[in-house]
């Protein structure tokens, strides 16, 4: 079963359970900043027999491309519990996340691990080919080591150039 819920609708006990799930899924590589990045948007929660099996979050961000600021549905903290991998959970999560992105954003975006990249490519996400950068309190800094994928939506400007520079807004922790 897949359901969506804004962060504001998740009670503290469920948020605690979700944080523990993400900590376990990312094997200690899920920081307080990563947790902060998942909050304030809409969570996509997959359960199997009442047990949390997977998660994704869609949060609002602003990306800059070709001199345009794009209202972006940014997908965060996509993971499936080890016991439920290769059983369609990630597909169900992403189908719902993509619906949310397409319904209100000019662009979808996410940063991907190597494992995740295969899933996103199969689903039609496009690797951003141009240079990547982030807006910081001290100015724009290049982020050449990132792998970012985008998903055009019905509201994506027709002149968006995936070979141009893509700049993300500022946040603590990982910029992408």
Bridge-based pairing state of the strands 132-136 and 126-127: unpaired
Please give the backbone phi and psi of residue 79, each rounded to the nearest 5 degrees, phi first: -160, 155
CB of 121 closer than 8 Å to CB of 143: no
pTM recorded for the entire structure: 0.95
pLDDT of 97 over the 90 cut: yes
Cα separation of 97 and 12, whole Å?
A: 23
* Residues 6 or more apart whose Cβ sits within 8 Å of residue 72: 60, 61, 62, 63, 105, 106, 107, 108, 109
Angle formed by the axes of helices 114-122 and 89-104, nearest 10°: 70
How confident is residue 115, by pLDDT bands cut at 50, 70 and 90?
confident
The pLDDT score that the predictor gives to residue 116 is 86
**2-168: which CATH topology?**
Aminopeptidase (3.40.630)
């Amino acid at each position: 079963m897949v359901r969506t819920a804004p962060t504001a609708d998740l009670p503290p006990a469920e948020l605690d359970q979700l944080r523990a799930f993400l900590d376990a899924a990312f094997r200690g590589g899920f920081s307080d900043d990563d947790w902060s990045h998942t909050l304030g948007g809409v969570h996509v929660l997959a359960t199997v027999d009442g047990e949390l099996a997977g998660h994704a979050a869609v949060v609002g961000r602003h990306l800059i491309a070709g001199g345009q600021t794009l209202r972006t549905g940014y997908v965060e903290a996509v993971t499936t519990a080890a016991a439920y991998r290769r059983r369609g959970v990630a597909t169900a999560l992403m189908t719902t996340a993509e619906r949310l992105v397409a319904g209100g954003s000019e662009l979808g975006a996410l940063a991907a691990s190597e494992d995740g990249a295969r899933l996103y490519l199969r689903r039609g996400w496009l690797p951003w080919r141009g240079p990547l950068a982030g807006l910081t309190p001290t100015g724009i800094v290049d982020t050449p080591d990132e792998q970012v994928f985008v998903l055009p939506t019905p509201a994506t400007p027709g002149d968006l150039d995936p070979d141009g520079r893509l700049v993300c807004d500022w946040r603590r922790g990982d910029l992408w």
